[in-house]
Chain A
């Protein structure tokens, strides 16, 4: 059989419940990012630029929109004669059929898929991180060190280290201990959720893990510790650059705002490492006489008649005359009426805000909309709803249903 050197498996089945209303209808990897991307575009584009063209995307939670988005993969040049991108939902087998129980189980259930390509290595990725990374360099490192597994790590501030999976290494970069969310971290090297495994080794541990009673079938909690216990060589691959987990409303908002930083912390303009996405079929955006746009990212199909400052606007957004939108992220097709004021908000796709609507005003009591998902004064308005004229919404609010004028 012809061997493919490397197959990538992207874990895209999680709900991402901490994104609140934004993931009520779509899986987290399909959430809009940066005006014209979906979060999964980063992992897929990284794969393609790293020369990996056989990719499985493991889906489970609300996969329809993600499936449609990925399509035949041509967006990322992944419509290939040999390999390409494949959406892999759980499926019925001879005797049983079950949901993916954990990250490791998801790969376990697709051992046959990977075996079809007979790869030497498998790259395991998360579909919900924002970063640009050359996995090929990591694989070279993995091969040079003859590791059973290599885990990409990034230094995080010590005070935040207890939120991550933390690697302790010896002087040679070999991992000596792995601690998932340690209370007293002994290192600040956090796992990025990017793994390269020798496929033969991973397969063995996946099969063994499946037979272990009580296992959570999770890479971080089970597979990695089991390999370490057996004395397998696990290496840490240090990554330098921008990396952001966008698991919460606040981190999603921050990662979007990072695109506006000057100079940008994440260079999106590198022609050799473009992040591919499905491009809308829309004309260029229009900025009207009397409008004002500063420090913002705006994409095709938008019509701006008001003031936009520090914002990320997705395709087809309209901002009406006299309206002021600041520090906000507007998803595709959002329409804002006239004389509205929107501050520090994330507004879901195709939602309409009427005239003189106020969002993100600290003086407005919005306790009825208060949500555990929203913090740092960020307000979240769900997709496909309409907010009637003159409605006022405060901070840290999550609006999930239409509000009549």
Chain B
């Protein structure tokens, strides 16, 4: 077992997801046909031997709570530790969580009650299949106070502008930290993932909170660079950052690539999710499906191309679905023609509807829309 606990911070504020996150926290965003984003980080935790995981939530967390439940799909329904939902504490009125520090201050009691040596502190909006054991070993070898995880992006990658980036010296030590630079100077994109000793984290949170600080990056990481050793660990595998509608769409479409799917799902570390006991998907005579990912419980009688079809979707005869993401239980009726559309859960499209978006600007149909 790993002597570490996990804290997952879920937060919407940096994401530009339009209607997709109006109804849910970004960590509960459906992904790749049968998952939610939180599944990846939770599975990474348990696949690393972590059995004490807290989810610090902020707003709109009912979808998230519904999804993770008791933590059973991840074997986190335990007598010793397990899964802890840590919703905001409201003190005498509205909850004024301005940033990560406030969220973390909320979970101090949970941190103090836990006994693990390290904390894996992470966001939930990166799709990857990784274990933290190697990172903890790296952290120990370096004698680091904090280890940050990053991967390299192309310097021209627009996502870099939304990342925390690190300047790293030859020993792996972080020498400078940048955040949201309009002209990125480093390709080392932070993955919002940190290893730190639990007691040290407690002290840093207490200090930052006492100073009225809000930002983990600016007020804790950057502020402590002078007196703490911060090292950076480079992650080489697939990492899909979801921070906008376009990146959500693009990363879903990347799941059509067999190599990416193999890396994410076929290795020794499975990605667990809530099971729905849906029947296998039924293909009828009119089905014509090309290059698509289809989850269970669907009935398909129409044409589907380059698309991600979630559980329980019905696509009627003569309907055409191209380059689309169709979420759970949506119904596409006869002769509908859809291209570059993200259809949220439980939408119904009556006969003959035509919707066309652009790959760089997919059309979003909000949850439970009826057209």
Which residues of A come within 8 Å of B, CB atoms?
34-36, 74, 260, 262, 268-269, 274-277, 279, 281-300, 303, 308, 312-313
**Cα separation A292 to B310 with both chains bound (whole Å):** 20
Say yes or no: B280 contacts A297, CB within 8 Å: yes
Q: Within residues 6 to 63 of chain B, which ones have a CB less than 8 A from any CB in chain A?
A: 32-34
Say yes or no: B34 contacts A300, CB within 8 Å: yes
Say yes or no: A297 contacts B258, CB within 8 Å: no
**Cα separation A274 to B276 with both chains bound (whole Å):** 10
Shortest CB distance A119–B (Å): 28
Say yes or no: B290 contacts A275, CB within 8 Å: no
A297 contacts which of B275, B281, B308 (Cβ < 8 Å)? B281
Known: A283-B33, A299-B296. A288 touches B281 (CB 8 A): no
**Cα separation A312 to B280 with both chains bound (whole Å):** 9
**Cα separation A308 to B34 with both chains bound (whole Å):** 23
Say yes or no: B291 contacts A289, CB within 8 Å: yes
Closest to A313 in B: B280
Say yes or no: A262 contacts B284, CB within 8 Å: yes
Say yes or no: A288 contacts B291, CB within 8 Å: yes
Q: What are some 14 contacts across the A-B interface (CB < 8 A)?
A: A34-B279, A35-B279, A36-B296, A281-B270, A283-B255, A283-B261, A283-B264, A284-B33, A285-B281, A286-B294, A292-B288, A294-B284, A299-B281, A300-B34
Count of A-B residue pairs with CB < 8 Å = 98
A284 contacts which of B32, B276, B287 (Cβ < 8 Å)? B32
Say yes or no: A283 contacts B287, CB within 8 Å: no
Q: Is B272 an interface residue (CB 8 A)?
A: yes
Say yes or no: A286 contacts B261, CB within 8 Å: yes
Known: A269-B279, A297-B281, A298-B281. A282 touches B294 (CB 8 A): no
A286 contacts which of B270, B287, B288, B293 (Cβ < 8 Å)? B293
Say yes or no: B271 contacts A284, CB within 8 Å: no
**Cα separation A275 to B296 with both chains bound (whole Å):** 14
Q: Within residues 247 to 282 of chain B, which ones have a CB less than 8 A from any CB in chain A?
A: 255-256, 258, 261, 264-265, 270-272, 275-277, 279-282
Q: Within residues 223 to 265 of chain B, which ones have a CB less than 8 A from any CB in chain A?
A: 255-256, 258, 261, 264-265
Shortest CB distance A40–B (Å): 15
CB neighbours of B256 from chain A (8 A): 286
Q: Is B361 an interface residue (CB 8 A)?
A: no
Known: A283-B293, A285-B293, A288-B290. A36 touches B280 (CB 8 A): yes
Closest to B261 in A: A283
- Is chain B's interface secondary structure helix, strand, loop, or mixed overall? loop
**Cα separation A83 to B297 with both chains bound (whole Å):** 31
Q: Within residues 294 to 322 of chain B, which ones have a CB less than 8 A from any CB in chain A?
A: 294-297, 308-310
**Cα separation A293 to B277 with both chains bound (whole Å):** 22
The bracket for how many chain B residues form the interface is 35 or more
Q: Is B353 an interface residue (CB 8 A)?
A: no
**Cα separation A291 to B288 with both chains bound (whole Å):** 9
Shortest CB distance B123–A (Å): 22
CB neighbours of B284 from chain A (8 A): 262, 294-295
**Cα separation A282 to B261 with both chains bound (whole Å):** 10
Shortest CB distance A277–B (Å): 7
Select the residue from A283, A299, A303 with max chain B CB neighbours within 10 A: A283
Closest to A312 in B: B280
CB neighbours of B288 from chain A (8 A): 292
A297-B283, A298-B280, A300-B34 known, 9 other contacts, Cβ within 8 Å: A283-B34, A283-B271, A284-B34, A285-B294, A286-B258, A287-B294, A297-B280, A303-B258, A308-B283
B290 contacts which of A74, A274, A290 (Cβ < 8 Å)? A290
CB neighbours of B294 from chain A (8 A): 284-287, 298
A-B pairs, 6 with minimum CB distance: A284-B33, A299-B280, A279-B275, A284-B295, A35-B280, A297-B280
A287 contacts which of B264, B275, B292 (Cβ < 8 Å)? B292
Closest to A315 in B: B280
**Cα separation A34 to B279 with both chains bound (whole Å):** 9
CB neighbours of B264 from chain A (8 A): 283
Shortest CB distance A37–B (Å): 9
CB neighbours of B32 from chain A (8 A): 283-284
Q: Is B285 an interface residue (CB 8 A)?
A: yes
Say yes or no: B277 contacts A300, CB within 8 Å: no
**Cα separation A274 to B312 with both chains bound (whole Å):** 13
CB neighbours of A276 from chain B (8 A): 277
Shortest CB distance A330–B (Å): 12
Say yes or no: A296 contacts B271, CB within 8 Å: no
Shortest CB distance A378–B (Å): 21
CB neighbours of B308 from chain A (8 A): 284
Closest to A45 in B: B277
**Cα separation A279 to B258 with both chains bound (whole Å):** 22
Say yes or no: A294 contacts B265, CB within 8 Å: no
Q: Is B289 an interface residue (CB 8 A)?
A: yes
**Cα separation A303 to B292 with both chains bound (whole Å):** 10
Say yes or no: B72 contacts A74, CB within 8 Å: yes
Say yes or no: B295 contacts A296, CB within 8 Å: no
Closest to B264 in A: A283
CB neighbours of A303 from chain B (8 A): 258
Say yes or no: B280 contacts A284, CB within 8 Å: no
Closest to A295 in B: B285
Say yes or no: B277 contacts A277, CB within 8 Å: yes
B287 contacts which of A34, A290, A293 (Cβ < 8 Å)? A293
Select the residue from B258, B280, B282 with max chain A CB neighbours within 10 A: B280
Shortest CB distance A265–B (Å): 14
Say yes or no: A294 contacts B283, CB within 8 Å: yes
Closest to B282 in A: A297
CB neighbours of B258 from chain A (8 A): 286, 303
CB neighbours of A74 from chain B (8 A): 72
**Cα separation A291 to B261 with both chains bound (whole Å):** 18
Say yes or no: A300 contacts B296, CB within 8 Å: yes
Known: A281-B270, A288-B291, A293-B287. A34 touches B296 (CB 8 A): no
Say yes or no: B277 contacts A279, CB within 8 Å: yes
